[in-house]
Amino acid sequence: MDTQTLIYLFVGATFALYIGIALWTRAGSTSEYYVASKGVHPILNGMATGADWMSAASFISMAGIISFIGLDGSVYLMGWTGGYVLLAMCLAPYLRKFGKFTVPDFIGERYYSQTARLVAVVCVIFISFTYVAGQMRGVGIVFSRYLEVDINTGVVIGMCIVFFYSVLGGMKGITYTQVAQYCVMIFAYMVPAIYISMMITGNPIPQLGFGSEVTGTGQSVLERLNGLSTELGFATYTDGSKSTIDVFFITMALMVGTAGLPHVIVRFFTTPTVRAARLSAGYALLFIAILYTTAPAIAAFARINLLTSIPELTYSEAPQWVTNWEKSGLIAWLDKNGDGKIQYGPGAPFAGAPTFGPERGVNGERMVTNAPTEAATELYVDRDIMVLANPEIANLPGWVIALIAAGGLAAALSTAAGLLLVISTSISHDLLKSNLMPNISEKKELLAARVAAGVAVVVAGLFGIYPPAFVAQVVAFAFGLAAASFFPAIVMGIFSKKMNKEGAIAGMVVGLAFTFSYIVYYKFIFPTAGPADWWFGISPEGIGTLGMIFNFVAAIAVAQVTAAPPEHIQHIIEDIRIPRGAGAAIDH
Amino acid sequence: MSVSKQEAAKAYWKDNLRLMLILLAIWFAVSFGAGILFVDQLNHIQFFGFPLGFWFAQQGSIYVFVAMIFFYVWKMNQYDRKHDVHEE
């Protein structure tokens, strides 16, 4: 069978599986719809959290980004895993004991204030929409790359699938589809990784191969990589080029942001007990760590491969995968010095992503129409190549390519579905049931949740089809805002009996306003700014950390001078601190 | 809550906070310490084919995170029983 048929087969089979699961796990009550009736086993919840968490960006782009920036890539590796430690120890068990459905539920009740709840709802919706816009685009891109349809058709197909299982099954349906998606995704990631590791180091375990010797050179992977990088004029792989303070702040913002993201937190509402909530956090990180410790190994292997297999070859000598991916525009070569050989070095060969003219160059390459830069480098390599081209680089059969297509789609769909559910819950539960229409019946609330999910899917799809120019820039928003708003408010709500509503609201507003303005200013109003212009050299990606500190300071200061929280709130806090009685909380 | 139960809850919370602070200190040390602040110094040390700082930043800190959560789960289950606040 040819590769294209295999791709249709694999993607079709996995979709049939997801839809089958959705039909089998239809939600009949709001508790099933919002939190899967709090009956999810910790291992399954761990897998679902992993799939929810790892998006198309983690699956396709992360290894490539690390591959190009070396040590600096650690901010993502540590930042997107370290947050689970905070979740496990500071948030998950207590929020599970509290026993409601959403983050605004907790904020609203703990701070005895509808205003606080409303601030929280607005944050949830804003954060989740920013995040989901990128996911739908990701779905479209994966579809277009593998199924030979255009991106917009891909977005629409993705919308239909997500619509089907999130609207029908709610949290219950999503959880079990995410378990399946996790399995598809991790298998698809590991198979090529193991082969590449064997090919380069002879060790089948990528994490160990990463520290082994490159076959036939007598050098370790990283020594070889540093040597090759220096030879071609790149910075050494194991040294960073970002300032230490910036790396520190970005890592912290990503960690704390992870712990404050509503679609991650809500997963811990679905476990049957407090014990299970703690354990789920452990399993979630374990399942995430499998991919996250493999990614830097893939990054290094792929980089060695790139640096040894292309430079100074002629176009016709270059490996087959170069011409294959040139077709989809992920690789481009511009023979600037006319020597017929591919030179590769630091910098960009031309401005922006390649646009191709109709004709071929003298060597047979696709001619780009971009204006060349001063740099000597002639090769454009899209960083996604590092994962996408792996099966071809390792000479793997067609079914592995099909597997990666199914894995990439699983990654994008699972994250999108988790986010859409959070949005729909915020609208039907936090906005309608808790604010505008407190007397709404359960049946109507469930209907409202489904309608909201449907509308959210359509809006997210429109974002995917007409991506706002800033989509690539807004990931910083989601993490920064989550770090600067929810994390401090929830942590203080659990660990401080003195924190009152005035303090919490002041903290959230200060944290949000500061982080929001900083990002808007340095991303959109003054985008040419560099480290010299930033406060203390902190980039917009890392500013959420400072926002978080401001949140804590403002909240504590205001709480000092205002009235302590009422008696019954003190009892709530005492109650959520001990696990006993969590079962009873289900029927609230 | 009866007085003895309140006492138990207090003692439980104290044990919990101590455990949490110790683990957070380790969490900070392996990631922000070894992987960021002292990465250059540690990179002079070789560790199974890796410069040590680089290993912490891209591999080691993640392993420690995972181990730490499972340790926390195990220890907290003990504390739950010790102070008689475990779930039925």
**For the segment B5-26, what is each residue's pLDDT rounded down to a tens digit?**
888 999 999 999 999 999 999 9
What is d(CA B40, CA B43) in angstroms, rounded to the nearest whole number? 5
- Asked if the Cβ–Cβ distance from B55 to A211 is below 8 Å, we say yes
- Asked if the Cβ–Cβ distance from A88 to B55 is below 8 Å, we say no
Query: Using one digit for the tens of pLDDT, what is the confidence trace for A327-381?
Result: 878 888 988 888 888 888 888 888 888 888 888 888 888 888 888 888 888 999 8
Query: Using one digit for the tens of pLDDT, what is the confidence trace for A141-193?
Result: 777 777 777 778 888 888 888 888 777 778 888 888 899 999 999 999 999 99
pLDDT of residue A442: 80
Cβ–Cβ under 8 Å, residues A51 and A258: no
pLDDT of residue A583: 62
Q: DSSP 3-state assignment of A362?
A: coil
What is d(CA A25, CA A173) in angstroms, rounded to the nearest whole number? 5
Can you give the length of chain B in residues?
88
- H or E element in which residue A262 lies: helix A262-265
Q: For residue A524, is it within any domain?
A: no
Q: Which residue has the tokens 């942001």?
A: A257
pLDDT of residue A520: 85
Query: Which residues, at least 6 apart from A373, have a Cβ–Cβ distance to it below 8 Å?
Result: A347, A348, A349, A350, A351
Chain B residues closer than 8 Å to A200 by CB = none
What is d(CA A53, CA A41) in angstroms, rounded to the nearest whole number? 18
The ipTM estimated for the assembled molecules is 0.95
Phi/psi-derived region of residue A27, left when phi > 0, alpha when psi is between -120 and 50, beta in every other case? beta
Query: Is A235 near chain B, with CB under 8 Å?
Result: no
pLDDT of residue A404: 87
A463 vs B47, more confident: B47
pLDDT of residue A586: 45
B→A contacts (Cβ < 8 Å), by residue, are: 1, 9, 12-13, 16, 20, 23-24, 27, 31-32, 35-37, 39-40, 43, 47-51, 54-55, 57-59, 61-63, 65-66, 68-70, 72-73, 76-77, 80, 85-88
- Asked if the Cβ–Cβ distance from B66 to A282 is below 8 Å, we say yes
Q: For residue A218, is it within any domain?
A: no
- Pick the closest to residue A5 from A142, A131, A146 (CA basis): A146
- Asked if the Cβ–Cβ distance from A78 to B1 is below 8 Å, we say no
- Asked if the Cβ–Cβ distance from A580 to B87 is below 8 Å, we say yes
Count of domains forming chain A: 1
Residues of chain A with pLDDT under 70: 468-476, 583-588
Domain that holds residue A307: 1-35+110-199+284-346+374-467
Global model pTM greater than 0.95: no
pLDDT of residue A310: 83
What is d(CA A188, CA A526) in angstroms, rounded to the nearest whole number? 41
Q: DSSP 3-state assignment of A367?
A: strand
Q: For residue A389, is it within any domain?
A: yes
Total Cβ atoms within 10 A of residue A526: 10
Total Cβ atoms within 10 A of residue A533: 11
Q: For residue A217, is it within any domain?
A: no
Q: For residue A65, is it within any domain?
A: no
Q: Cα distance from A420 to chain B (closest Cα, Å)?
A: 28
What is d(CA A178, CA A173) in angstroms, rounded to the nearest whole number? 8
pLDDT of residue B59: 95
Q: For residue A424, is it within any domain?
A: yes
Query: Using one digit for the tens of pLDDT, what is the confidence trace for A182-228?
Result: 999 999 999 999 999 998 999 999 999 998 888 888 889 999 999 99
Query: Which residues, at least 6 apart from A453, have a Cβ–Cβ distance to it below 8 Å?
Result: A163, A166, A167, A170, A420, A421, A423, A424
Interface residue of A49, A77, A84, A89 to substitute, partner B, most B CBs within 10 Å: A89
Cβ–Cβ under 8 Å, residues B36 and A248: yes
Q: For residue A234, is it within any domain?
A: no
Distances (CA, A) of A442 to A101, A429, A494, B66: 14, 10, 29, 39
Cβ–Cβ under 8 Å, residues A517 and A290: no
Query: Is A62 near chain B, with CB under 8 Å?
Result: no
- Asked if the Cβ–Cβ distance from A222 to B86 is below 8 Å, we say no
Total Cβ atoms within 10 A of residue B24: 15
Q: For residue A193, is it within any domain?
A: yes
Chain B residues closer than 8 Å to A239 by CB = 40, 43
